[in-house]
Amino acid sequence: MNMSDFFSKSAGVWFIQRTVHHFDLVADESGESNLHIGVVTKDDPRVKSICEQQGIDPAKATGGASFMWQGNTDENEPNPDYAAVLVDVPDDEMGHSGKLLRDQGYVEKIPVVSRYWFGKDGILTIDTEYDNNQGQERCWFITNDFRVRASTVRMMNGVYLMTYCSERRCVCEEDLAKMIQHNLSRESS
């Protein structure tokens, strides 16, 4: 798998159940949310803008993905303050490793460059160095509609944070209607 494949396979809306372990007295951030992922083509103007912001030739980018988070019970459109765009800049022909450019990071809301690679087992690992923190995220698909993410954050003062997320793809209303129709047709035959 390469990052373009990973982004394509991730496109859609995901229901996330998140467990957060703080190693200090910070309030619990565990909970449920929705993650909206869209594929960003290499000719999208955001790709050029993010590459230029990081001093990287946009011609090296293969595209990317947009991410928007929202509370699970929130019926409003996702808040753009909880959004990010990632741009893939592979460093090998197969696209198994490279850089991810983000318009804003997850831990610190600043533009950031991460390193990524896919293991032989298909697990994606992303390492990020922020100004005041270091993060590592690992993500893999159990099935096409269920994936797992685990991450750690180490802060300057040595405090660690660990997160585990199980993510299930949400079925859109159109697909749900097709499934219902299919089951109804099976029942009548």
What are the tens digits of pLDDT across the range 98-115?
999 998 756 556 788 999
Tokens 């957060």 -> residue:
20
- Position 128, amino acid: T
% of the chain beyond a pLDDT of 70: 92
Count of alpha carbons within 13 angstroms of residue 144, beta-carbon side: 6
- Number of domains, the chain: 1
pLDDT for 59 equals 96
pLDDT for 109 equals 66
We report the CATH number of the domain holding residue 127 as 2.40.128.20
pLDDT for 108 equals 58
Residue 25 pLDDT grade (very low, low, confident, very high; cuts 50, 70, 90): low
52-82: pLDDT as tens digits:
999 999 999 999 999 988 877 667 776 666 7
Which residue range(s) make up the domain with 153?
A: 3-188
Q: Is 61 helix (H, G, I), strand (E, B) or coil?
A: coil
pLDDT for 78 equals 66
Our separate counts of H helices and E strands in the chain read: 3, 10
Distance CA 22, CA 24 (A): 5
54 or 159, which is more confident?
Answer: 54
Q: With 60 as the cut, is the pLDDT of residue 132 above it? A: yes
- Within a 10 A sphere around the Cβ of 68, how many other Cβ atoms? 19
